[in-house]
Amino acid sequence: MLKKRFVTREDWTRILEREFKQLYISDTSFSGYISLLTLNKVKEPLWTYHCNKKICIVDNGYSWLQQLPEKEHFAITTMFNESNEIIQWYIDITTHNGIENGVPYMEDLFLDLIVLPTGEIIKKDLEEIEEALDKGWITKEQYNLAFSTFNTIYEELQNDTFKYIKLSNVHRERLLRGNL
């Protein structure tokens, strides 16, 4: 019952017109795939609620930067509005990140963290992972991996040492410039 999510989001019918770029990077600050999905035209906006705030995460002109670091058990999606302002960082806990037919993907392991530009950190889907374990969708080993990764990232976010958030604008600009 694990979900493999491709960074192209080709299965997402909400997106009517898109641009997509991806790049493999291996340097001192990051090793893995980065991609930028620009949502030129969407059927309708997508709103979510966090900390009693209504937040639009999908609309015309929005873009999603995805960072899938190698040998890690998480992927980061940075959501930008049409003015190129960061709306939120969404951190998926994963069994692994990979590539299939040239397209990067993450295998989602239920737990998520959301970071708002205000610094608020939101823990998500704690009930879902319990259900996944109870129903046998994941193993105890995967459950433990998810929580170990989740707790480490949460602590790094609280201490402002989670380096990937600081790379969001750098990676986005690199993809926009075509600095491949």
Integer angstrom CA distances of residue 17 from 88, 115, 127: 22, 27, 35
C-alpha closest to that of 84 among 19, 38, 145, 34: 38
Q: Could you report the per-residue pLDDT of 49-87, keeping only the tens digit for each?
A: 987 889 999 999 999 999 999 999 999 999 999 999 999
Which numeric CATH code is attached to 3-177?
2.40.380
Write down the domain spans for the chain: 3-177
Measured torsion, CA atoms of residues 113, 97, 173, 118, in degrees rounded to the nearest 10: 0
The model's confidence at residue 9, banded by pLDDT at 50, 70 and 90, is confident
Least confident residue range of 33-37, 88-92, 173-177: 173-177
pLDDT in tens, 109-140: 999 999 999 999 999 988 999 999 999 999 99
Structure confidence at residue 180 as a pLDDT band (50, 70, 90): low
